[in-house]
Amino acid sequence: MNLNQDLQPPRNSDNGEISKPKLGKWLVLLGMVVAIGVGILLLGGGASSILEAREKPVVIAELKMLPDPVCEELKNVVPSGSSITALLNDHFTNQEIHNLNLRSKSIFPFTKICAGHPYRIISYDGEFNSFIYEIDADEQLVISRDVEQIYMERQPIVYDVQAATVQGTITTSLFDAVNEIGEQPNLAYALADIFAWDVNFILDIRKGDSFLAIVEKRFREGQFAGYGKILAAEFVNQKKVFKAIRFKDGDQVVSFYNEKGENVRKAFLKAPLAFKRISSGFTMNRFHPILKSWKAHPAIDYVAPVGTPIKTVGDGRIYRIGFTKGNGNFIEVRHSNGYASLYLHMKGFARGLKKGSRVNQGQVIGYLGGTGMATGPHLCFRMRLNGAPVNPTKLKIPAAKSVSKEHLTEYQRIAAPFLAKLEETRSNTKIAKLTVPEASVVSKGLNR
């Protein structure tokens, strides 16, 4: 998972539920208003009744509310195989749909619709008002009409965002600990992602390890709707404390830095893909199966299914991208400090990449294949330092860039309150541990 990607739990889908919450209320109100109106008419004539009517301004206010239209909302998820056109069919003419389709290309092409995403159709007094399709967790497509024209736009989904402090202690695994405090697995993934560079969450975890995070929680209509950003976090692994504060250093991608402003990431990923096995390791002397001769193999061959996404191991720029008879489709990325990484035999490249393109660590640059001189589908991955081959699996990977001098003051200003909050929460927990008798601790997680 990408560090700067926001997290969403699986969404609830309200299948075909038509909610008419207001209809009943309006009928009752209508009845009341009619009854009161009749009362006024019956009493009408005498001066005293006029006075009485004047003393009941509430009635006038209720009368004014009467013309409000009845709102109906159809909530559903896009059925598989369906199209926006099909969903809009009842509300627009064929010509209008055709025009909408053309207009949509620059806003949100209708072909990009995904089955399972929620949509709503809102109507007033049975008249279509708007169609709202949720593009992702952040944006929705809104098509609405009034008497004069049809509108189409992308709108941000508005959440009520609250920063929450969550903490837990591990007895078995991070996932269990996150679950125990009533949080969602996505939070465990995100925390593991942040600290993955320092902690191996499979091998290094011990009972008593703990975590603490300040995380945004998003709410929509009062309901929890997933996590936003993790703003700061702390992980204690075998008594060693790791801290991470979210920060965007100028035009760099968002990263996490420790209290000194050092990047918690390393400059390179351990591997550029999720692989099944290594078919050929790094050697300077190997018998080449196709060339039938002894040849150095200063590379690691990773085996994975054709089409497996290949990620650049570090931030950098594309120095070479293209095809040669031997390499097949290949990319060379140049990183800072004299490092370069090469990715050979790819099936194809990610869209939009060209020589000079800037790429960020973890960004997909291509897909595994068997092009060029390859006996079967695999990724031949190479790294170089100042032009000389280095073994990627033996490399002592340097840390990614620290906060720049230019933005260090800004970082310290942003980090200070988070570090204080982490400190405060941790020491409060310790005090609570000391003063609360063991027997009275009933709730798990947060109070421990």
Dihedral in degrees, nearest 10, Cα atoms 178, 184, 186, 191: -30
Q: How far is the CB of 280 from Zn ion (least distance, A)?
A: 6
* Interaction between residue 301 and Zn ion (CB under 5 A): yes
Cα of 58 vs its chain's centroid, Å: 49
**Measured distance CA(399)–CA(262) in Å, rounded:** 8
Of the pair 193, 301, the CB lying nearest Zn ion is at: 301
Does residue 425 contact residue 164 with C-beta atoms inside 8 Å? no
**Measured distance CA(418)–CA(51) in Å, rounded:** 63
**Measured distance CA(132)–CA(117) in Å, rounded:** 11
Mention every residue, 6+ apart, whose C-beta is less than 8 A from residue 275.
302, 303, 304, 308, 379
Q: How far is the CB of 302 from Zn ion (least distance, A)?
A: 9
Of the pair 191, 299, the CB lying nearest Zn ion is at: 299
Of the pair 167, 327, the CB lying nearest Zn ion is at: 327
Q: Name the segment binding Zn ion (CB under 5 A); options: 47-55, 353-361, 372-380, 435-443.
A: 372-380
Mention every residue, 6+ apart, whose C-beta is less than 8 A from residue 67.
none
Site for Zn ion in 394-423 (CB under 5 A): none
Q: How far is the CB of 284 from Zn ion (least distance, A)?
A: 13
Q: How far is the CB of 299 from Zn ion (least distance, A)?
A: 4
* Interaction between residue 299 and Zn ion (CB under 5 A): yes
* Interaction between residue 310 and Zn ion (CB under 5 A): no
Does residue 251 contact residue 232 with C-beta atoms inside 8 Å? no
Does residue 328 contact residue 372 with C-beta atoms inside 8 Å? yes
87, 380, 414, 415: residue in contact with Zn ion (rule CB under 5 A): 380
Closest residue to Zn ion, based on beta-carbon distance: 380
Q: How far is the CB of 320 from Zn ion (least distance, A)?
A: 17
Number of residues that bind Zn ion (CB under 5 A): 3
Of the pair 33, 271, the CB lying nearest Zn ion is at: 271
Q: Name the segment binding Zn ion (CB under 5 A); options: 117-125, 311-319, 380-388, 424-432.
A: 380-388
Of the pair 326, 417, the CB lying nearest Zn ion is at: 326
**Measured distance CA(112)–CA(134) in Å, rounded:** 12
**Measured distance CA(49)–CA(51) in Å, rounded:** 5
Q: How far is the CB of 379 from Zn ion (least distance, A)?
A: 8
Report helix, strand and coil shares of the chain as percent, to nearest 5: 25, 35, 40
- H or E segment and range at residue 58: helix 57-65
Site for Zn ion in 116-145 (CB under 5 A): none
Q: How far is the CB of 383 from Zn ion (least distance, A)?
A: 12
Site for Zn ion in 155-174 (CB under 5 A): none
Of the pair 343, 411, the CB lying nearest Zn ion is at: 343
Residues that bind Zn ion (CB under 5 A): 299, 301, 380
